[in-house]
Structure 1
Amino acid sequence: MDEILKLRSQSPQFSIATNFLLTCLALIVVHLVHTRYKNGLHKIPGPFLASLTSLWKWNIVRQEQMPFVNTKLHEKYGPLVRIGPHHISASSTESIQVVHRSRSGFTKSGIYGILQPRFEGSDLHNVFSTQDAEYHAALKRTMGSLYSTTAVLPLEYHLDDCTKLFMNKMNGIIGSGKSAPVDLAAWLQYYAFDSLGALNFSKMLGFLESGTDVDGICHLDHEQMMYFAVWGQITPIERAWAKTKSFFTGARKENPLFNFALKLVMDRQEKPTDSKDMLNAFLSLHEASPDKFTIRDVVAAAYINVVTAHDVVAITLRAVVYYLAKNMNMQKKLQKEIDDAQLSTPSKYSEITSLEYLLAVTNEALRIHPSTGLILERTTPKGGVLLHGKHIPEGTIIGVNCWVVNRDKGIFGEDADTFRPERWLDNDPQQISKMRTNMFTFGAGARNCIGRNLAMMQLTKIIVELYRNFDITLADPNKDWSVSGGWLTRQSEMDMILTKRNRG
């Protein structure tokens, strides 16, 4: 110690360096204290590190664990949890009403901007990602009718084509035998992509035909969504990094799905067809109202229909087959309902909407395994808001996590962690209405999923054909699947055994 003091007294440089480091340390401490206590957010419980830096949630998302961690945090702390310096995770019927359904001015946060591709020199806003509430409302009014049940029913034949091809491929894998192992996690993703290609562009993308990940699109899409999830937790750093890369390379990272959708739109403009599909519906809307629905809006709608919808369909279908394979009595109950209904081949959507257990199974899969694993971020409006007795100041990022609220025992019962389709049938009408109102898989309020009717038709039609034709069991009943807990909750490692049913 004496030697250090002697060195310090003899070396001005040592003294300056020490003072500089101490000053920096003091400034860091002041910044962290300010961050934790600014605007009274310290009154919202949560992990200590989360109150100091966004790197806490960045790390959790990077590990693909956020929906599971988020659920445990709410079990520990209650309906409001601080998961970042300016981020609140909310979970309750009150939170859904105040944050997502009310007209109090909650707008989407900047995280959604990362998902917007570049088109003709600027970000391409769309009905999913835009932060502009007025633009979103106008866009939804203009194009909303295209997603009604009445509007999507004429497109059903596209799904029939995809379903026939899917069933042919499954039977081809089984061959002359009675059963065979199938990687349904992959095949259901292929079905989702191809069926959306057919619905939107009258063109399957080749996944089902080849039985492969065409051009690595599934892999690239997963990487893109993980990038969005991870770096969306620290958007200022992501924006700075993206600008730096763009400055030095002159280009942004390629988006294969956007390039695919853009090419199909341009081709259709050059060579019009009379196909019944979503793209022609968009183009007709553009021709009728070019000022309200521009060609940019056409491109954006075509792109977002594929990029957001395919994972909702694939993830939900995986949940159906996984949970029914773990609960064979439920699978037999569904098969009996399908058999007794004596449906057309392939089944018509108008026939299957009356199958109560099928709809219960689909709703339960949507509930227990929603496709989104992070909070749906909104920005608190001017003046802030009072929620669960706590004042949430303006500018705070707040949102409900589907995984948390969909397992709320106060809404869905004490067995909310269990896959049980009967809850949608056995409860009294008031309780079922409460569950329907607060199931958050498709969002809520003005920003709920515009493609819900289309998704339900895709889901239920293929579920009917799968269980009408096959018994589906786990290849290894003792092995759990793997779930990616990022923005999307994709599943893998769920190999199945498909066995042809004897329905004679």
Structure 2
Amino acid sequence: MESTQHIVTSLISSARVDRLAIVLFGLAIYLVRTYYYHGLNKIPGPFIASITSLWKWNAVRREEMHTISAELHDKFGPLVRIGPNHISASSAEAINVVHRARNGFLKPKYLGTDLHNIFSTQDAEYHGALKRTMGSLYTTTAVMPLEFHLDDCTKLFLTKMNELIGSRKSAPVDLAGWLQYYTFDSLGMINFSQKLGFLEAGVDLDGICHYDHDQMLYFATWGQIASTERVWSNVKDYLFSKKENPLFHFVVKIIKERQENPTDSTDMLSSFLALHNAAPEKFTARDLLAAAYINVVTAHDVVAITLRGAVYWLARHPEVQKKLQKEIIDMAEAGKLSNPSQYSEITTMSYVLAVTNETLRYHPSTGIIFERVCPKGGVTLHGQYIPENTHIGVNAWVINRDKSIFGEDADTFRPERWIESEPAAVTKMKMNLFTFGAGARHCIGRNLAMMQLTKIIVELYRNYDIMLAQPEKEWKVSGGWLTRQSDMPMIIGKRGSLLGA
């Protein structure tokens, strides 16, 4: 009896070992196949990234993807394997091949994009048609009539700063928050002729800023392992109550009110409604809602991140701040600058534009690659064949500091490069500045963003000196989809009070 029991026990143990061996053998085959997938093993990168997407998931989760990517490209060169089927590229050649190509590099499917829009769509024909329909609304000529909305928000912003300073020489201020509030309210005015109320309240109303940051970080993190996210999303929705999106509901409410009570307001919504009414089959109600929402939810971060970057690096380089102020004051004293300044005047101010371009270069608003899918037949890039269906894209954080494009001091914040460099070098820098993307998918709102950025920069430094409250402390940068900054306490004072005349 004991012998029989011993035999049975041995057989069971043996079966368990066999099953474990089969599992381990299958896992080994999977890992080897993944590592050598379509020859991508020839492209250098972290070993763990070559066998699992959890590597990039973790890098984004830790909000360090922007700095890690820069370190990897410094070590390995213009092509780095960051996932089993993902390549990060960084070169002017890569921008031309991947992002300016006309041979079918499509966007992959993103998470949370049920609202089909010009940013998220994979359909090249739909994107092209929608861009042709909407594109005329985003030219410099088209956005100029909206400028008075920015003036209204700038005046309120300055009033709030003056209230904070009061009768004192200077005052501590959370400019990271206030610049976010300004951006949201100014976009509310441009799009709907209505502020969202951030500037007046001086707080994050309804937690919109916090909610938006959490959402974008979620998309960035879980987008690295999309198949797993689909499972987690179902579990999450079952276990936890779904948070409402206050900004989306605000946009829906505004559109409904405008349709029920039409106005002659000069804003983007009026233009969108005119497009929809004229050709509802080309610009549907869904397109209208998507355009109005995306105009606020994506644009505000690009502008706010760049404005934070400007005030932070100008505070880190007070000599640059004083040089900027001199150009502004000289223009004003010569009677060439209105109060508030007008964009047509600002476009003649070389140093203001140089500071803006340098900030866009030095601190781009995205920290992960602009993903595209290799077309049928694959491509050859930097002598390396990359097969079809490989996800590849350029990382703005890396390419914007490429020394072969921006000079040997590309790791230094130096606006003068945009003025003192040879014309051919400036053209090369402008061509490869990747903050707004490139090719057919470049940011459609670039002209509007430049007007927003430069106008508030001029008024800030016409009126104030801005310093770091804790210059020994580095700010915090979230290195996910967006490189949003925090922990940057500032001191603001009337111009000449902190830096001298």
Which band: TM-score by shorter chain?
Answer: over 0.9
Corresponding position of 2:79: 80
Corresponding position of 2:70: 71
SS of 1:83 mapped into structure 2: strand
Instruction: Compute the displacement of 1:502 (Å).
Output: 5.2
Instruction: Compute the displacement of 1:48 (Å).
Output: 0.3
SS of 1:473 mapped into structure 2: strand
SS of 1:39 mapped into structure 2: helix
CA RMSD of superposed structures (Å): 1.6
Cα deviation 1:187-233 (Å, max 9, x = unaligned): 00100111001100111001100000000100000000010010000
Instruction: Say whether the 8 Å CA contact 2:187–2:300 is kept in structure 1.
Output: yes
Indicate yes or no: 2:417 matched with 1:423: yes
Instruction: Say whether the 8 Å CA contact 1:115–1:129 is kept in structure 2.
Output: no
Determine which of 196, 199, 202 is the counterpart of 1:208.
199
CA distance in structure 1 between the aligned counterparts of 2:473 and 2:456, rounded to whole angstroms: 25
CA distance in structure 1 between the aligned counterparts of 2:199 and 2:480, rounded to whole angstroms: 26
User: What count of residue pairs does the alignment treat as equivalent?
Assistant: 490
SS of 2:482 mapped into structure 1: coil
Instruction: Compute the displacement of 1:432 (Å).
Output: 0.3
Corresponding position of 1:154: 145
CA distance in structure 2 between the aligned counterparts of 1:354 and 1:296, rounded to whole angstroms: 40
- Give the fraction of aligned pairs with identical amino acids, expressed as a percent: 67
- AA of the residue aligned to 1:86: N
Indicate yes or no: 2:228 matched with 1:229: no
Instruction: Say whether the 8 Å CA contact 2:43–2:80 is kept in structure 1.
Output: yes
Instruction: Compute the displacement of 1:124 (Å).
Output: 1.6
Instruction: Compute the displacement of 1:440 (Å).
Output: 0.3
Instruction: Say whether the 8 Å CA contact 2:466–2:493 is kept in structure 1.
Output: yes
Alignment of 1:120-139 (within 5 A): 123-139=114-130
CA distance in structure 1 between the aligned counterparts of 2:112 and 2:155, rounded to whole angstroms: 33
Indicate yes or no: 2:356 matched with 1:362: yes
Indicate yes or no: 2:295 matched with 1:305: yes
Instruction: Compute the displacement of 1:243 (Å).
Output: 4.1
- AA of the residue aligned to 1:417: D
CA separation of 1:326 and 1:240: change in aligned 2, threshold 3 A: same
Instruction: Compute the displacement of 1:255 (Å).
Output: 2.6
Determine which of 224, 230, 255 is the counterpart of 1:239.
230
CA distance in structure 2 between the aligned counterparts of 1:242 and 1:257, rounded to whole angstroms: 21
CA separation of 1:249 and 1:138: change in aligned 2, threshold 3 A: farther
SS of 1:11 mapped into structure 2: helix
Which 10-residue stretch deviates more, 250-259 or 202-211?
A: 250-259
Q: Can you give the 5+ residue segments of structure 1 that lack an aligned partner in the other structure?
A: 1-5, 117-122
CA distance in structure 2 between the aligned counterparts of 1:57 and 1:218, rounded to whole angstroms: 25
Cα deviation 1:98-127 (Å, max 9, x = unaligned): 0000101000012x2x142xxxxxx22101
Determine which of 256, 262, 266 is the counterpart of 2:256.
266
Cα deviation 1:378-433 (Å, max 9, x = unaligned): 00001111111111000000000000000000000011011000000000000000
Instruction: Compute the displacement of 1:351 (Å).
Output: 1.0
Instruction: Compute the displacement of 1:249 (Å).
Output: 7.6
CA distance in structure 2 between the aligned counterparts of 1:245 and 1:327, rounded to whole angstroms: 46
Instruction: Compute the displacement of 1:174 (Å).
Output: 0.3
CA separation of 1:177 and 1:251: change in aligned 2, threshold 3 A: closer
Indicate yes or no: 2:190 matched with 1:190: no
- AA of the residue aligned to 2:488: M
Cα deviation 1:21-65 (Å, max 9, x = unaligned): 111111111101001102101001100000000001101110000
Corresponding position of 1:454: 448
Cα deviation 1:334-374 (Å, max 9, x = unaligned): 00100011111111111111000000000000000000000
CA separation of 1:8 and 1:444: change in aligned 2, threshold 3 A: farther
CA distance in structure 1 between the aligned counterparts of 2:149 and 2:358, rounded to whole angstroms: 26
CA distance in structure 2 between the aligned counterparts of 1:251 and 1:476, rounded to whole angstroms: 40
CA distance in structure 2 between the aligned counterparts of 1:132 and 1:239, rounded to whole angstroms: 22
CA separation of 1:281 and 1:13: change in aligned 2, threshold 3 A: same
CA separation of 1:8 and 1:303: change in aligned 2, threshold 3 A: farther
Q: Can you give the 5+ residue segments of structure 2 that lack an aligned partner in the other structure?
A: none
Corresponding position of 1:142: 133
Corresponding position of 2:58: 59
- AA of the residue aligned to 1:283: L
CA distance in structure 2 between the aligned counterparts of 1:448 and 1:75, rounded to whole angstroms: 26
